[in-house]
Amino acid sequence: MMTVMLCIICALIASLCVAATGKPLIPVIDGEWWQVAGDPDLGGYTSPDQQPVDFAVWQAADGAWQLWSCIRRTKCGGNTRLFHRWEAKSITDTDWKPKGIALEADPSLGESIGGLQAPHVVRWKNNYVMAYGCWTHICFATSSDGKAFKRVLQSNGRTPAFGEGRDVITRDPMLFFTNGLWHCYYTASPHGKGYCYCRTSANLRNWSNSFVAAYGGQSGTGPWSAECPHVVEPRPGYYVLFRTQAYGENAKTSVYRSTNPCYFGVDDDNYLLCALPVAAPEIILHTGQYYIAALKPDLKGIQIARLRWIEAAGDLSK
């Protein structure tokens, strides 16, 4: 509870500093997409119906770019999902090199068979930390080189760290640091309603109770209305939430802004910036340039484009 209160207090201070002079920043896809990953060969797990979906992109310790994606509808059993990885020398390379299956669920550690979902990786204190879903909970893994990850076990010897209850599919974690705290955004669907939850931590190990960071509005309230939450801070004290509602040819991600990283609106579209025709986006800042990675419309690969921010009329007082 104390970490949540600290988060809110720091955000209020930041909002007072920014709201007087800041203008809303809107993300704009800048140029053509290039494909970085396709539909991988999974050996005996390969299925014609499989799809690379929620993913993470980061740079390993040796400078090589890494991409891990959840591949769904495979023949691995259970919930049909596992992680596959790719690698490249540059973020602007096309057709990154497939490196094989990276991770499968381990039921002996409390993970649901075929239940791995949506990895996300950050670097902290010369270490890499991966958050991922195991169908019912959020789990973590660590790595010294950003390539080989070892699961983090909780005090009970199992990997699940926290969740929102049974049968709500707690998933899609994203780690973001601001105001002295790590924020883990994720989604779950209690009673068939899609919420964007958040928890905070000072050490990526001990987490606060959950609270709702976003819900409802024009994005809807269905079970898929708050998927793949992703937060960035393009200007100090100015936070932008990307929240996906639809995959495929009619992909849609709603984009919200706030001066409080703990709140982007509940049944309130005053925080809405725009909508982008993409699904499961990840925003990457590298050498001063922003990039956006997203699923291909046919759900048979992952693509990247440059991203820029433009100032819009108005203020941040809402």
AA identity, residue 307? L
For residue 161, give its domain range. 2-311
* Within-domain flag for 257: yes
- pLDDT of amino acid 312: 84
- Domains of the chain: total: 1
Q: Model pTM? A: 0.92
* Within-domain flag for 318: no
* Within-domain flag for 74: yes
Instruction: Give the burial string for 6-45 (b: 16+ CB within 10 Å, else e).
Output: bbbebbeebbeebeeebebbbbebeeebeebbebbebeeb
- Per-residue pLDDT tens listing for the chain (318 residues): 444 444 444 444 444 433 434 789 999 999 999 999 999 999 999 999 999 999 999 999 999 999 999 999 999 999 999 999 999 999 999 999 999 999 999 999 999 999 999 999 999 999 999 999 999 999 999 999 999 999 999 999 999 999 999 899 999 999 999 999 999 999 999 999 999 999 999 999 999 999 999 999 999 999 999 999 999 999 999 999 999 999 999 999 999 999 999 999 999 999 999 999 999 999 999 999 999 999 999 999 999 999 999 998 765 444
Query: Other CB atoms closer than 10 Å to residue 153's CB: what's the count?
Result: 15
* Within-domain flag for 191: yes
Query: Other CB atoms closer than 10 Å to residue 317's CB: what's the count?
Result: 10
Domain CATH number, residue 34: 2.115.10.20
Which residue stretches of the chain are H helix? 2-18
Count of alpha carbons within 13 angstroms of residue 26, beta-carbon side: 13
